[in-house]
Chains A and B, each alone.
Chain A
Amino acid sequence: MDVSVSMTVNGVEHSHAVEPRTLLVHYLRDTLGLTGTNIGCDTSQCGACTVHIDGDAAKSCTVLAVQADGCAVTTIEGIGNGSLHPMQQAFWDEHGLQCGYCTPGMIMASIDLLNRNADPSRAEIRHGLEGNICRCTGYQNIVNAVASAAKEMAGADA
């Protein structure tokens, strides 16, 4: 039997009746049509599906939609306010992506990383992204992008 779920996604309130077993990532992609959040595995390892729930990064394949009831969810489509978020810009500038599939999750995880530690060392960036797998880049330019975004965002705050 379906259950009702309500949440704010990228600032817009949504209410739907869903199967109780519906994963948050399926709710976002299939019910709301927000296909920017990709699915890369079924064991919560790869991080392609990373979104923010009430401001914290979460793997949306590991959360039931009903668990996000009443929460504020942000996906890749919801950052940047119409222009590019500094993290998106940094991934572009630093060639931090190739096939692009891990990129939305990687960007969401990276923003969360800087929220927790605004001035991370390269080693801290590398460890901070251990929940996100990229097969293309060898991570080097992703690390460069996060470091560059950290600088940019620190400058914007100052």
Chain B
Amino acid sequence: MSKRFIGQSVKRFEDPRFIKGQGRYVANIDMPGMTYMAILRSPYAHAKINNIDTSAAEAMDGVVGVLTGQDLVDGGCGPLPCGWNVPDIKVPTRLAMTTDKARHVGDSIAAVVAETPYIAADALEAIVVDYEILDASVNARNTTEDSAVQIHDDVPNNISYTWALGDQDGTKAALEAADHVIELDLINQRLIPNAMEPRAAVAQWDATRGDMTLWTTSQNPHPIRLLLSAFTLGIPEHKLRVISPDVGGGFGSKIFHYPEEIIVPFAARAFNRPVKWVATRSESFMTDSQGRDHVTNCKLGVNNDGTFTSLYVSTWSDQGAYISTFAPLIPTAFYICLLSGLYKIPNIWGEMWGTLTNTVPVDAYRGAGRPEASYLVERLVNEAARQLNMDAIEIRRKNFIAEDEFPYQTPVALAYDSGNYSGLFDKLESLSGYSDLKTMQAEARANGKLIGIGVCGCIEASGPAPSKVAGALGSAVGFWESSKMRVHPSGKVSLYTGSHSHGQGHETAFAQIVADELGIPMADVEIIHGDTGEIPFGMGTYGSRSASVGGSAIVKSAEKVRAKMMKIAAHQLEAAEEDMVFDRDEGGVYVKGSPDKRLSFFELSLGAYTAHNLPDDMEPGMEETSFYDPANFTYPNSAHIAVVEIDANTGEVDLQGYYAVDDVGNVINPMLVEGQIVGGIAQGIGQALYENGVYSDDGALLSGSFMDYAMPKAMHFPAIHVDRQETPSPHNPLGVKGAGEMGTIASTVATANAVMDALAPLGIGHLEMPLTASKIHSAIAAHAGQL
């Protein structure tokens, strides 16, 4: 196959509008008659609502109207559904605006629509709510105790669901038989995604036609339309258009169906005016679904030679006050199914409890379950190496699934498609100068310095998902992707994809695929995404699925276009169809052995539309649609090293070096892949060292702004060195694997392992993230006090 563009670092087509300040973000949409919504949020984590008095607000000049939860219920709005129903799950009722109780700080109570944003904000102050404050529950594990307050009447002990996988008895027996058992109690702390663009929604109602258009900051507008139509808003799917134009980052947080996507169009219809709502950052902190928040006990059975025999994991996963759209997927199939890591571990048991607390709902956040799995596996492996006095890479090599053992069936359901983990670590040792690092560390330690080298090797299951598998695991939807390839009469191509770009660069990478598949210039290709009015259907972008699922759907449509063009060429050139060759370099079709006897891409495109000379049984036109359902997940994998020095006097961590080798299969655009990897690494380091979503015991969100939540800044990072290995995925036509999340999955534990390695000579065991200077300083001081 000819590849003129795939594999090239083509500069992004989308950049000119962003660098000129011409991004088409939802907050930038304006139209005549626009009104502005502000939403009253509960200041209490748990409070009974006795009364809501909106009369003073409604009487204010410039206020168009005020809506409460009851207005929405009376208007036919239904509760927000859960899209991933594991067996016996209890999904508590979640309304767009609550009517009975506030269950987390930020729970929506009432919405004001006004002529200006400032009037809307003023009117919120005039709404009087009679709250009866209740005790709050904020800990994933303690919330299940009988003494904990009951958050929803129909979810006893605040346990929404439980899930388990593996061989419990076999794993227990193997742990007993192992030479060593490494046990850790870990907290994978609450994170707040913080895409730089706050969520926003604009709705326009056409009363005469009964058509609603909703612009929303979503990673997947089609599923949002489906949920709005079938469950929450009730406007039929064919009368509702959902558009997600430029979206300023998502990281998972913009996958989910949010209350404002219901309230804003409801108000636009109720008041017959366009309505705009744009979250403040404070609202983002208390309403965007958050990430992680696991309390875990885990045990790894290891023999004297370093061989892993067994892994037993118990996790309490905080789901927040309600079950967000895909929340139950994250700590089940995206977590327990990943517990085998890069290793042959014969016995695995994973069990979890999905619990409710008076906190913001938790759902997928970059990596989504897989970083939590990698964190515990790779912390255990490092702890095993330390206790057995083995090198951190040596113990991993002893347990790798070998290159010739793929496909590899793990004991936790997944069948890994391909990989070469020892090759990956060969590259990592070379990139990082591992043996020199070890020498440097030994010398520095001899001089009393606290230097740590943090190694990790991580697996990801990306590109969700075979729809049958997803359905069996509880999904309410399929996870294929669509593409519609419209070849215009002039030979230019509009490609409509169901994937959604919110920073990934699809307009460039997908154009590279189309241009290569059809043998045309990239400038002749336009990628269209994010509009249910234009795209047949699409499942959107998350789980590192766009290249492997969305890209494959593009390849499938291109195959159909080529086949039709070859039929037309055979007919017009009066040659056998099997003698037609599609020219992937120049475009067009020629007769095998006679490259001069040919029709150009333009001639074939035009010919399909003039229809003057087509085979008798052929329909005119040149437009092909494909729905691609992946045969399996893809399995990106990575080997990372972080190098830190800790100042023993202050506890401050100086991240001195970072080295990453990732295998994401074939690469469409190396520049984009490297951008994803480096950006992901930075985000994961944020979890390890800085970020922490903190609630007080009464449920107040203490880290509710950028003043209190430590977002990583440019000065926090050294140069990040990346390399890659390309082991093609055998089951998709591009041979690609996911690239969006691997950096994040690996860098958190690599950095944490580096800090623990630095502190190991002091006899300090495990510390919880974020590994802040004060926490480390306290640990050093406490340890010194013990000596």
Contacts and interface: CB of A to CB of B under 8 A. Distances in A.
B27 interface: yes
Contacts of A33: 30
Contact of B196 (A102, A107, A125, A139): A102
A132 to B, nearest CB: 8
B388 to A, nearest CB: 34
A100 B18 contact: yes
A18 to B, nearest CB: 10
B751 to A, nearest CB: 13
B309 interface: no
A93 B11 contact: yes
Interface in B99-123: 117-118
Contacts of B17: 100
B64 to A, nearest CB: 17
B197 interface: yes
Interface stretch (B374-382, B450-458, B703-711): B703-711
Contacts of A97: 15, 18-19
A33 B21 CA distance: 12
B19 A103 contact: yes
A157 interface: no
Contact of B19 (A92, A99, A125): A92
Contacts of B126: none
A75 B19 CA distance: 12
Interface in A4-55: 19, 21-22, 26, 29-30, 33-43, 45-46, 48
Given A98-B504, A99-B248, A140 B280 contact: no
B719 interface: yes
Interface string B235-248: 00000000000111
A154 interface: no
Interface string B2-43: 000000000110111111111101011010000000000000
B249 interface: yes
Contact of A138 (B117, B198, B678): B678
Contacts of A126: 713-715, 717
Interface stretch (B129-137, B554-562, B679-687): B679-687
B714 A99 contact: no
Contact of A139 (B27, B278, B717): B717
A133 B710 CA distance: 11
Contacts of B195: 99, 101, 135
A38 B713 contact: no
B531 to A, nearest CB: 18
Interface string B657-684: 0000000000000011011001111110
Contact of A48 (B28, B196, B671, B678): B196
Given A95-B12, A99-B249, A137 B679 contact: yes
Contacts of A36: 20-23
Query: Which of A97, A122, A130, A142 neighbours the largest number of chain B CB atoms within 10 Å of its CB?
Result: A97
B21 A140 contact: no
B131 to A, nearest CB: 24
Contacts, number: 179
B251 interface: yes
B678 A77 contact: no
B360 to A, nearest CB: 17
B411 to A, nearest CB: 35
B194 interface: yes
The interface centre, meaning the residue of A30, A92, A98 with most chain B CB atoms within 10 A of its CB, is A98
A136 B679 contact: yes
A103 B679 contact: no
A101 to B, nearest CB: 3
Contact of A143 (B14, B248, B681, B714): B714
Contacts of B16: 92
A101 B681 contact: no
Nearest to B709: A45
A139 B714 contact: yes
A60 interface: no
A135 B192 CA distance: 12
Given A36-B20, A138-B720, A140-B720, A95 B675 contact: yes
A50 B757 CA distance: 40
Interface residues of B, number: 57
B282 interface: yes
Nearest to B722: A140
B505 interface: yes
A40 B198 contact: yes
B682 A43 contact: no
B682 A139 contact: yes
A58 to B, nearest CB: 16
B242 to A, nearest CB: 19
B486 interface: no
Given A43-B281, A136-B503, A92 B12 contact: yes
Contact of A99 (B21, B247, B681): B247
Contacts of B707: 43, 45
Contact of A76 (B20, B671, B680): B20
B12 A125 contact: no
A21 B19 contact: no
A138 B251 contact: no
A153 interface: no
B737 interface: no
A35 B682 CA distance: 29
B502 interface: yes
B586 to A, nearest CB: 29
A84 B20 CA distance: 8
A99 to B, nearest CB: 3
Interface centre among A33, A80, A135 (most CB of B within 10 A): A135
Interface string A68-88: 000000011100100010001
Given A137-B675, A138-B681, A99 B12 contact: no
A62 interface: no
A134 interface: yes
A115 to B, nearest CB: 18
A77 B21 contact: yes
Nearest to B502: A99
Contact of A135 (B117, B678, B683): B683
A43 B713 contact: no
Nearest to B16: A92
Contacts of A118: none
A121 to B, nearest CB: 12
A46 B505 CA distance: 23
A141 interface: yes
Of B678, B705, B714, B720, most buried by chain A (CB within 10 Å of CB) is B714
Contacts of A77: 20-21
A19 B28 contact: no
Contact of B714 (A34, A92, A142): A142
A75 B197 contact: no
A133 B713 contact: yes
A76 B21 contact: yes
A107 B281 contact: no
A130 B16 CA distance: 25
Interface string B47-68: 0000000000000000000000
Given A48-B196, A138-B720, A42 B282 contact: yes
Contacts of B118: 19, 21-22
Nearest to B9: A95
B625 to A, nearest CB: 28
B18 A141 contact: no
B196 A101 contact: yes
A35 B28 contact: yes
A33 to B, nearest CB: 7
Contacts of B711: 45-46, 133, 135
A37 B14 CA distance: 18
15 contacts: A30-B117, A37-B21, A40-B198, A92-B19, A98-B504, A98-B505, A99-B502, A100-B19, A101-B195, A125-B714, A136-B675, A136-B679, A137-B675, A139-B714, A139-B717
Which 3 pairs from chain A and chain B are nearest by CB? A36-B21, A101-B248, A100-B18
